[in-house]
A and B are shown apart, each in its own frame.
Chain A
Amino acid sequence: MTDQEVKPEDEIETTGHEWDGIKEYNNPLPRWWLNIFYITIVWSIGYWVFMPAIPYWAPGGWTYTEGIRELSQRNKVAGQIAEVTAERAAHRDEVANLSLSQIRDSEELYQIALAGGASSFRDNCAGCHGSGAQGFTGFPNLNDDDWIWGGKLSDIEFTIRHGIRWEDDPDTRYNEMPRYLADEFISREEVYQVTEYVLSLSGLDHDAEEAEKGKTIFANECATCHADDGAGMQEMGAPNLTDSIWLYGSDREDVFETIAYARNGVMPAWQNRLDEGTIKELALYVHSLGGGEE
């Protein structure tokens, strides 16, 4: 055992409290601790002067002392954004001024545009088309090789610029499929027959007898836009009905509904919302996803 010393009673007082016979010495605070405490007090005064610190009410609402360094996280972020924008300015100008194929020919510029396009896509397009451009029912998947209005770079750029059925844009891509049943162009039975015929076009499960009847109706009513063989026409925005890709679903009910009531989805025109460079970057990015046509 160690030799234990007894603290002399007369040097340090107890706190005067007693709990079940336990008393506590009123020992002084360690000096190093106390010194650091004083330093923090001095420090805080400097902090009030230099940094944003004290909230106060002024006519117009609550505000705060900004500090003589005018340093705040908000200013810092603004400064960093300005810095990055300045850094990118050269590339942005280049992308904005060159044509799409010129950008694509320069491997370096192309990769920069793709990176920019990917991030702009997530900001602006992912809401409808999905973060992976995978699409949803009614919103096309941009990864595949099926294009309603064309999959060349220039087609994609035009679509982004002017949108689809976007009334504020005079150049917007526009067509309107008739509501065959709702507007009574054909009878309900005839819609059934056309439905079977459309299903037969891409080899889906169908009633051959009904489909045969529907063939004539298709030739009269639908072939103008969707072509005689049902392969569609990109110039008119008429989808290919012979392939495996269905924007609104390939179930019998889905196809029936499309013919009976039409769909006519809308995409906004982006030319007044995004700058020139961003639109080009987006066109290149969408084109690069795997289905772009030459």
Chain B
Amino acid sequence: MDARVGHVPEGQDTELHVDAAPVNKEHAQPLYADREKVYPKLVSGKFRSAKWIIMAVTLGIYYLTPWIRWDRGPMAPDQAVLVDFPGRRFYFFFIEIWPQEVYFITGLLILAAVSLFLVTSIAGRVWCGYTCPQTVWTDLFIYIERMIEGDRNKRMRLDRAPWSASKIAKKATKHFIWLVIAVATGGAWVFYFADAPTLARELIAFESQPIVYLSIGLFTFTTYMLGGIAREQVCTYMCPWPRIQGAMFDENTFAVAYKEDRGEPRGAHKKGASWEGRGDCIDCNQCVAACPVGIDIRDGLQLECIQCALCIDACDTIMDRVGRPRGLIGYDSLQNQQARTTGSGARTKVVRPRTIIYSTVLVVVGAIMLIALLLRAETEVNVIADRNPLFVLLSNGDIRNGYTVKILNKGDAATDFEVSIRGLTGASLARGQTRNESNLVLSVPADTLESGKFFVQLPSAEFQRLTSEEKTLQFDIVITDTASKSEVVESVSFKGPVS
């Protein structure tokens, strides 16, 4: 039996009824069965409108972000969001992240994950239903398909029809537009990794690196395959998130649900007939026809359901037509369902241990990141003591230690840093590996790491005296910003022969 052919209930108002059966109904899928194609029907309503807006905004963000300019002065790129691999920097508007600060990105990912947990525990798969790229692009691809081949019934008829010139033309047009979108998707991706206007010119002139074309090709392929061909199978079989988020659901989680207590017993309804003794569900299958993952929402919470809320729109339209209140399918929690059946009146709790913990983690991680970002030093100093040789014995018996001072200037102006020593009596400091050995000032250009070699020399007698008091000699190398007079103090040890 063709799974798509549903039953038309006896006495059904055929105008409202749609011939649809959920292709992904539980147990309708033996292990080696071929995929049944899903033909989602267009619905209209507030959720559909919201989804059009979200689609426009998210796609807009994705395609346009690389083109936003942000002035950082003459030495740095002026692209607002840029992952600069050759320059080893990540630019995000006013933030500039160096490779050693990759923990900011870790923090961002933690924030994203916990936000996802919080939203999921409150309102279910909001991410999946509205903003996941898979959902957005699939929605876009279905929109194209509908534009060319027509709505559900026309598409089904076209697929069943023998090949003809018009069928070929329609299919070819559809796949061509899909490919154009896919290429644009891959094309937008690469702009995040290079100066967008320059790269765009190179791309058109076929002067870009092979890796750029390869990336575009890869993204074209995945966009076309996942959004156009695979669609709901990505969510059902490939994505781990539906499995993970089961852990965030509980009886207080709002999810798109069929209100069984109100809808049952379901059955066909004739215009003007009484609603006494029966449920509000007229079994018209509109919710099934609208579903992009091919399930029947009336079967309850299901793994396949991405909670896109399109069945809500479909059902509300019908409820309006038959004159029953909206919301037979809507956001509802198990707690609410239970309360209605038992009449206990217990309310769904949004504030509960789970959401409190998620919110706390969110606030704490956010605060840590904000503090780290605010306290982020413009100057980073590293002092590396020579390891080979640990010390040098000079001809007059003095001991000399060598240190490499590395100064990272993250600021946007060249800065002079004066190097001095503190806490080692009798010692002298000199610069090595440069013409001017008395110059103890290290000039570091903006956005640069500069290093200098420094020698600390301790007279023999002083070394003997100090080591007789203490086994290891610790002292400070002080790096002073000559302009702001701010200091960075690095504690290092002075090595000498063991007596």
Contact = CB atoms under 8 A, between A and B. Distances in A.
B435 A244 contact: no
Q: Counting chain B CB atoms within 10 Å of each CB, which of A104, A111, A245 scores highest? A: A245
Interface stretch (B110-118, B131-139, B386-394): B386-394
B387 A244 contact: no
Contact of A145 (B27, B388, B395): B395
A188 to B, nearest CB: 31
B394 A114 contact: no
Interface stretch (A70-78, A84-92, A129-137): A129-137
Nearest to B433: A288
Contact of B394 (A28, A131, A244): A244
A133 B389 CA distance: 8
B486 interface: no
Given A107-B434, A290-B455, A144 B27 contact: no
Given A28-B32, A145-B394, A110 B388 contact: no
B432 interface: yes
Chain A at the B interface: mostly helix, strand, loop or mixed?
loop
Contact of B393 (A111, A144, A288): A144
A134 B435 CA distance: 23
B396 interface: yes
A207 B295 CA distance: 104
A105 interface: yes
A139 B433 CA distance: 23
Interface residues of A, number: 28
Contacts of A27: 32
A144 B394 contact: yes
B32 A144 contact: no
A243 interface: yes
B460 to A, nearest CB: 8
A141 interface: yes
B45 interface: no
Interface residues of B, number: 21
A288 B392 contact: no
A5 interface: yes
A143 interface: yes
B388 A130 contact: yes
B388 A132 contact: yes
A245 B395 contact: yes
Contacts of B400: 143-144, 290
A196 interface: no
Interface string B396-407: 110010100000
Contact of B27 (A3, A131, A132, A244): A3
B396 A243 contact: yes
Contacts of A157: none
A10 B389 CA distance: 81
A193 interface: no
Contact of A240 (B30, B394, B395): B395
A130 B393 CA distance: 16
Interface of A: 3, 5, 27-28, 104-105, 107, 110-111, 114, 130-134, 141, 143-146, 240, 243-245, 288-291
Given A3-B27, A134-B392, 4 more contacts: A28-B32, A104-B435, A243-B396, A244-B393
Interface of B: 27, 30, 32, 386-389, 392-397, 400, 402, 432-435, 455, 460
